[in-house]
Chains A and B, each alone.
Chain A
């Protein structure tokens, strides 16, 4: 009988772009228990609402995380708009959906690259990130920023799409989709990737329910949990959105879900461009948020995020709270790490797509 050895993992680790620490209790090569410890990125930005104007805070909310930055901005303004009873123009909702889906494509491509890098597949990492630059170019062209572009504001969006931008976006996305399909073939059929991912870190449907998993992680286990189905603000209802699911629940299934979601998101963006309604992109906002509270949700690339705002009639909000998807996926990660090999730990951690700065805020 081997003794239990504790191996620290992180906060600085080659596969982790962001700091998180795990204490791995090992028996020989098998992980018996993993204890996460967080707090390396905790800033306490929720408390900043007391010092910032409710309009200024949009910029802080976007900086919760640099990868899903647009979604956090959207979630925050959606909550404030709900509290103030502002109806956003339809064109603005479509544009928000469009940028949100573009963010999802960028986030998933980024993640696919990192996952390939964790396996040591350097050229695939480079390919994925090269494709991602197409999306960033589109962001830069339409909004002016690359990763954080502050285009959402209370009452609408700051920028509008011109006709030339629309045609160029369509062309570039169709070109990217072609290259992306070639790349996804490698993920789906390459022997090395199969042997590194198939059957590793299996999360059953029941466990996904019991451990409160969200987003692609839950969907890879067959749990069709996607807030976009119930979203009433964005364009998802008009575009007949259906969540992507896989049944296997292993690392490969999580890769497959994300590959398919990129395809789906490109489809949604093209649909948005086709059906983009005419009209204004913003409404004037007068006064301060009234006393009251409001909950809202947004489906981020990593899963569902919950936003809560509480106003008191002044220019500052009283409370802002954000429950991020990684926060909900952390218990699931602890579960799937139990019983895996030490060598698979980096892969498994990456396949939940941890976003630590989201998680700790």
Chain B
């Protein structure tokens, strides 16, 4: 088991949503649900984070913000889309300023449905993400150039463009 999966750090960003899922994400950190028992800590810095919890859909203005946070995170990383809006756009899918779910902006690994997603479901999604994180860590280590993911399409012959 990789070090990251023993104590993964979370970063949370709210896309274009009602904040129902946000407060449920925060509720996960508090005594009743307490994700800290899995070693999970909430951080505000993308550079220290392993798991990107993202709620809500994408619109023209937050698209670059989401991509930037994703790019600033170090490999290996896992993206968990929390809530129906982040999965597909939800009730707001037909609004003029919504581009759809989070998968329109960044590659999503785990989708957690629900409106609002319950804390139990969010914790389950994060734990599922941990298995992926472990796998990604192993792939990264096995790749010839340590530190650059071979699966990254921007990497050609082990050298990042």
A43 touches B94 (CB 8 A): no
A41 touches B16 (CB 8 A): yes
A43 to B61, CA, bound (A): 11
A133 touches B32 (CB 8 A): yes
A46 to B110, CA, bound (A): 31
Q: Which residue of A lies closest to B33 (CB)?
A: A133
B59 touches A42 (CB 8 A): yes
* B118 on the A face (CB < 8 A): yes
* B116 on the A face (CB < 8 A): yes
* A23 on the B face (CB < 8 A): no
> With A130-B31, A148-B20 in contact, do A47 and B26 touch (Cβ < 8 Å)?
no
A342 to B59, CA, bound (A): 30
Q: Which residue of B lies closest to A17 (CB)?
A: B22
A125 to B115, CA, bound (A): 25
B18 touches A130 (CB 8 A): no
Residue picked from A12, A69, A126, A129, most chain B C-beta under 10 Å? A12
A356 to B14, CA, bound (A): 10
Size of the chain B interface, CB-CB below 8 angstroms: 40
B18 touches A357 (CB 8 A): yes
A65 touches B19 (CB 8 A): yes
A12 to B53, CA, bound (A): 13
A72 to B127, CA, bound (A): 34
Q: Which of B12, B13, B18, B56 contacts A148 (CB 8 A)?
A: B18
* B106 on the A face (CB < 8 A): no
Q: Which residue of B lies closest to A145 (CB)?
A: B116
> With A126-B31, A130-B31, A147-B20 in contact, do A48 and B95 touch (Cβ < 8 Å)?
yes
Which A residues are CB-close (under 8 A) to B30? Answer: 113, 125-126, 129-130, 133
Which A residues are CB-close (under 8 A) to B98? Answer: 43-44
B94 touches A51 (CB 8 A): yes
B13 touches A66 (CB 8 A): no
Q: Which of B22, B44, B92 contacts A66 (CB 8 A)?
A: B22
A19 touches B23 (CB 8 A): no
A148 touches B115 (CB 8 A): yes
A40 to B63, CA, bound (A): 9
* A349 on the B face (CB < 8 A): no
Q: How many A-B residue pairs have CB under 8 A?
A: 121
Q: Within A315-356, which residues are at the interface with B (CB < 8 Å)?
A: 355-356
Q: Which residue of B lies closest to A110 (CB)?
A: B23
Q: Within B27-67, which residues are at the interface with A (CB < 8 Å)?
A: 27, 30-32, 43-46, 56-57, 59, 61-62, 65
Q: Within A1-46, which residues are at the interface with B (CB < 8 Å)?
A: 11-14, 17-19, 39-45
B17 touches A357 (CB 8 A): yes
A133 to B90, CA, bound (A): 26
Q: Which of A47, A65, A133 contacts B18 (CB 8 A)?
A: A65
Residue-wise interface mask of A (50-78) relative to B, using a CB-CB cutoff of 8 A (1 in contact, 0 not):
01000000011001111101000000000
> With A17-B26, A64-B18 in contact, do A44 and B96 touch (Cβ < 8 Å)?
yes
Which A residues are CB-close (under 8 A) to B96? Answer: 44, 47
Residue-wise interface mask of B (102-135) relative to A, using a CB-CB cutoff of 8 A (1 in contact, 0 not):
0000000000000110100000000000000000
A interface, CB within 8 angstroms of B: 11-14, 17-19, 39-45, 47-48, 51, 59-60, 63-67, 69, 110, 113, 125-126, 129-130, 132-133, 136, 146-148, 355-357
22 A-B pairs with CB atoms under 8 Å apart are: A12-B44, A14-B44, A17-B19, A40-B65, A41-B17, A41-B56, A41-B62, A42-B61, A43-B92, A44-B97, A44-B98, A47-B95, A48-B95, A65-B18, A66-B21, A66-B23, A126-B31, A130-B30, A133-B31, A146-B118, A148-B18, A357-B14
B interface, CB within 8 angstroms of A: 12-24, 26-27, 30-32, 43-46, 56-57, 59, 61-62, 65, 69, 90-92, 94-98, 115-116, 118
